[in-house]
Structure 1
Amino acid sequence: MNRKLFQNEIRKIVPELNETQLEKLFLYAELLQEVAYALGLSNLSREADILEKHLLDSLMLLPHLPEGPFCDLGSGAGLPGIPLKIVRPETEVYLVDSRRKAVSFLEYAAARLGLERLEILKARVEAPEVPREYFAAVVSRAVTALSELWDLAYPLLRPGGKLLALKGPRGREEVEALQERHPKLPIRSHPYELPCGRPGTVVEVLKSSPS
């Protein structure tokens, strides 16, 4: 995917995207290519693949992302948290990862991109510095199985908050496993397909408000 095609696809999701945000997305892609790949935080080295399979894929969450603070669990190289932050610059965002090299890259990328209202935490999700019942959403991409992810996200979500997980071919199996454990849990699946033909699913799990 070249930059022109990426720009066209992104504007389908974010029609109001401005030039500054677009340039930050391209700069972030360069950082993933030049730094994150060398650190082993990204498995893609070609810009065309990074734009489509990392950035565009991450932004598939955007139509389902509620207003309010969100937390990216196991953020790694900042996916999906940094692309979402770039297009939602006023939103308070937490990027959480327990690995030193991931946090070092996130701090470097945040400084290069000039991102504000961004907390980067070197911590496990159980750590006290990760706020409880605070987030409108917890987002995640390629971290762990959905059932385990729900256990991690639940304490962090405010009532009415959502877990939004990007899942691949095994998404349906993971939804069925979570539904078996929690039969009344509100779960929705939103399938999509990238221009390269690769399918994906945004899984949305709601933390119900107290009745």
Structure 2
Amino acid sequence: MTEAAELPPAPDEAREVFGERFPEAVRYGELLADVGVTRGLIGPREVPRLWERHLLNCAVLSEVVPEGVTVCDVGSGAGLPGIPLALTRPDLRITLLEPLLRRTNFLQEVVELLGLDHVTVVRGRAEEVLGKLPPVHVVTARAVAPLDRLAGWGVPLLRPYGEMLLLKGDTAEEELKHARAALGKLGVVGTSVLHVGEGVVDPLSTVVRVEVGESPGGVRFAAKRAKAARRSPRRRP
């Protein structure tokens, strides 16, 4: 069994970013370093860099999320970026969407412990909840899959003129180049690569923005795929 580790001291930037919710951010970090490790949600080698690489890296996504919108964090895992975003932005209504039971259990515990009344945890895959959850303004995700696959999951969950904000790494530009054809088929009307977190994280966090128009063409395609997925269900741990 993997042993828990101790959360390193928070950098000064964390107090500024999380503001009055800084104590909750610390508690969340402690949970990641403790039960997050023992339950296999994050690797033990990630604990020393939890603040810079995970908590702050995700929190600065708030710089490009519009005010007062609905958000669905697809493949939320241990709550990244959804939980840091929720801590910095109480104006948002956030759904943490995650298919694995052990992860949704952890997410629900975190949401209740931190008093995040504006956050809801839903167990399922994106194609399974299509039509069951209200469309959202923004879909977020953090490098859980290649860009074209992420868009296939996330675009159908969006409202007209919604956007996906995807935390990616150094290969974001290259991924975007290779995914353009697939994105076009999904009804994407605009893409861009943003860099956020100036003065907070180094290197800056890279965000791929994927924008849809009034009637995303991928909605019908995703509905057909969801129907096929229901006919051939995948086993879930």
Residue in structure 1 matched with residue 64 of structure 2 by the alignment: 64
Structure-to-structure mapping, 1:29-48, within 5 angstroms? 29-44=29-44, 48=48
* Aligned: 1:140 with 2:144: no
CA positional deviation for 1:126? 1.5
* Structure 2 CA distance for aligned equivalents of residues 64 and 132 of structure 1: 23
CA distance 1:186–1:129, shift in 2 (3 Å): closer
- Contact preservation (8 Å) 1:163, 1:205: yes
Q: Is the 8 A contact 2:60 2:197 kept in 1?
A: no
Which whole-Å CA distance do the structure 1 matches of 2:205 and 2:29 have between them?
A: 21
**What CA distance in whole angstroms lies between the structure 2 residues aligned with 1:182 and 1:115?**
33
Note the aligned Cα RMSD (angstroms): 2.4
Distance, in Å, in 2 between the alignment partners of 1:130 and 1:96 is: 14
Alpha-carbon contact 1:30-1:47 (below 8 Å) kept: no
Give 2:194's aligned amino acid: H
Which of 188, 192, 197 is the equivalent residue of 2:192?
188
2:96/2:121 contact within 8 Å kept = yes
1:167 maps to a residue whose letter is K
So what's the TM-score if we normalise by structure 1? 0.85
Distance 1:2 1:196 in 2: 16
Deviations 1:63-122 (A, max 9, x none): 111231100000000000011111112321100111011001101111111111321111
* Greater Rg by CA: 2
| Aligned residue in 2 for 1:106 | 107
Give the number of equivalent residue pairs: 203
Say whether the 8 Å CA contact 2:61–2:196 is kept in structure 1: no
1:203 & 1:151 partners in 2: Cα distance?
15
- Distance of 1:4 and 1:197 partners within structure 2: 12
Matches within 5 A, 1:92-171: 92-128=93-129, 131=132, 134-171=135-172
Q: Matches of 1:93 and 1:2 in 2, distance apart?
A: 28
Q: Which amino acid aligns with 2:195?
A: P
For 1:174-201, what per-residue CA distance to the aligned partner results, in whole angstroms no more than 9, with x for missing partners?
A: 1101223345730010135786744541
Counterpart code for 1:18: G
Superposition pairs for residues 13-52 of structure 1, below 5 Å? 14=17, 17-19=18-20, 21-44=21-44, 48-52=48-52
CA–CA distance in structure 1, aligned partners of residues 202 and 87 of structure 2:
25
Structure 1 unmatched ranges of 5 or more:
none
Partner of residue 3, structure 1: 10
What TM-score, normalized to structure 2? Answer: 0.77
How much has 1:204 moved relative to structure 2? Answer: 0.4
Structure 1 stretches (4+) deviating beyond 6 angstroms? 193-196
Distance in 2 between the 1:207 and 1:153 partners? 11
Quote the Cα distance in structure 1 between the aligned partners of 2:80 and 2:183: 28
Residue of structure 1 equivalent to 2:3: none
Offset of 1:48 from its aligned partner?
A: 4.7
Unaligned runs of 5+ in 2: 1-7, 216-237
C-alpha deviation, 1:171, in angstroms: 1.2
Structure 1 residues 52, 149: CA separation in 2 closer, same or farther (over 3 Å shift)?
same
Secondary structure in 2 matching 1:185: strand
